[in-house]
Amino acid sequence: MAALRPSDGLFEQVAAYTDEAMSVVTGEDLSAPTPCSQWNLLELMRHLSTSLGVLIQTLQDGRPDLLGAVRCATGTRPYTADLLLAGDVGTVLATAVRYRTERLVRVHEALRRGEGPDNVLVGERPLPRDLVAAAGAVELAVHSWDIATACGRILPIPDAPAVELLELSALVVDGVGRLGLFASAVAVPPRTPPGDRLVALLGRTPA
């Protein structure tokens, strides 16, 4: 079983996958159904953007200075009023997800350098920071798969991050419970690639 702490480079790999998933989103797709039965694509992207914002704030644990004046590596702009005026909600949300994903990568890098607390508050409950980060990595990867799938694209989660995310998922699911968070696992053949096993573990049917 893997250690609970996400490895060096895991968030970068997941971020690259998320960026690829976001690249296929168009305004015409926003009403499409997603593997998350309660949300269409627009609602899922809003959820993911909001979740990323909450995760970043939680991991920073009240320390907005944790990143200092760092810039996102790809120069992605935050979504602000000028982007909203452009009228393309799909582009706005994709930009928001990309920007917050890159910030999450930088926050995680800072935390791995020992610049943050070992425990953070989720609601009123203190939880190990690495558990929260692991859950965030899993959610980001799987929802990125959901988004690509909703856009009609087969985009498996790459093997390297998927293997680690599978191990982290087992710890996260066992640690916080499945009810209300994930659908029941979907059975897949033993030789199914790790990316498909990951989404099946969390209640999705692989393409």
pLDDT of res. 177: 46
How many Cα neighbours within 13 Å face the side chain of 195? 19
Segment 3-53, tens digit of pLDDT: 578 888 999 999 999 999 999 898 889 999 999 988 999 999 999 999 999
Rounded to the nearest 10°, the torsion over CA 113, 75, 47, 53 is 40
pLDDT of res. 110: 87
Residue 206 confidence (pLDDT) above 90: yes
Asked, for residue 115, whether it belongs to a domain, the answer is yes
Which residues of 55-190 form beta strands (DSSP E)? 119-122, 125-128
Both tokens assigned to 93: 């949300």
Q: How many domains does the chain have?
A: 1
Mean pLDDT, rounded, for 75-89: 52
CATH code of the domain in which 138 resides: 1.20.120.450
Domain that holds residue 137: 10-156
Q: pLDDT band for 73, please (50, 70, 90 cuts).
A: very low
Asked, for residue 187, whether it belongs to a domain, the answer is no
Asked, for residue 66, whether it belongs to a domain, the answer is yes
Asked, for residue 49, whether it belongs to a domain, the answer is yes
Asked, for residue 27, whether it belongs to a domain, the answer is yes
Asked, for residue 171, whether it belongs to a domain, the answer is no
Q: Percent of the chain at pLDDT above 90?
A: 51
Asked, for residue 16, whether it belongs to a domain, the answer is yes
Residue 183 confidence (pLDDT) above 90: no
Asked, for residue 201, whether it belongs to a domain, the answer is no
Higher pLDDT pick, 204 / 67: 204
Q: What are phi and psi of 178, to 5 degrees?
A: -95, -30
